[in-house]
Amino acid sequence: MVATVAFGLIVGPIGLGGVFTVVLLGIIVAGLMLYAGREKPIVDYREDMPNKAVVERLGTLLTRKRTALPAPAASRIDAISAQLPLLESRLSETQLLDPLAQDARRLMGKHLPELIERYERVPAPYRRERDAEGLSVDDRLVQGLDAAKTALDDLGRKLAREDVDAFQTQGRFIESRYKADGSLESD
């Protein structure tokens, strides 16, 4: 609006058509700003979701929930988030019915999001109260996130094991086929 007034004073009046255009552009810009500012809702977990979508969903959920969690839990969330790119690449190549993929899907699609959601439902004043074992709700959350990180580490290692084994086999084949003395062994 300020630019329109300045233009009118320096160059000349913009007229009714110019005012209409400025108002229309203002409405469009305001609409775009409102639309762009909204976060997309997190998609509900479904059993038939592709593996990659399950990992992406968890990444989005962790990013959004991180700031609402206590500092020790937020650092665990960061560690889990750092694992997701590797898991995403490995799981995107894995069949839905593969037992490792099913374990990963259950952990990332159900169990970990439910842990965070249940934590959020506990009223803040009760989160620091100690239970019979001397642990608070905050402590239990950190323990759960540690267990999830360990499980994801293990799943990632198992998913990569097949490629490591294939690589080692290929290396042994090349060593046996092309000896160090330069002679070739025939098949």
**Could you tell me which residues are beta bridge partners of residue 184?**
178
Instruction: Give the mean pLDDT of the chain.
Output: 85
Residue 174 clears pLDDT 60, i.e. is over it: yes
* 136-151 residue pLDDT tens: 999 999 999 999 999 9
In angstroms, the CA 81 to CA 73 distance is 12
How high is the pLDDT of residue 83?
92
**C-alpha dihedral over 41, 139, 135, 133, to 10 degrees?**
90
Of the CA atoms within 13 Å of residue 58, those in its CB half-sphere come to 31
How high is the pLDDT of residue 117?
94
How high is the pLDDT of residue 73?
92
pTM of the model: 0.69
How high is the pLDDT of residue 94?
82
* 48-107 residue pLDDT tens: 888 898 899 999 999 999 988 999 999 999 999 999 999 898 888 888 888 888 999 999
CB 51 within 8 A of CB 91: yes
In percent, the amount of the chain with pLDDT more than 70 equals: 88
- Give the residue among 145, 92, 98 at the shortest CA–CA distance from 119: 145
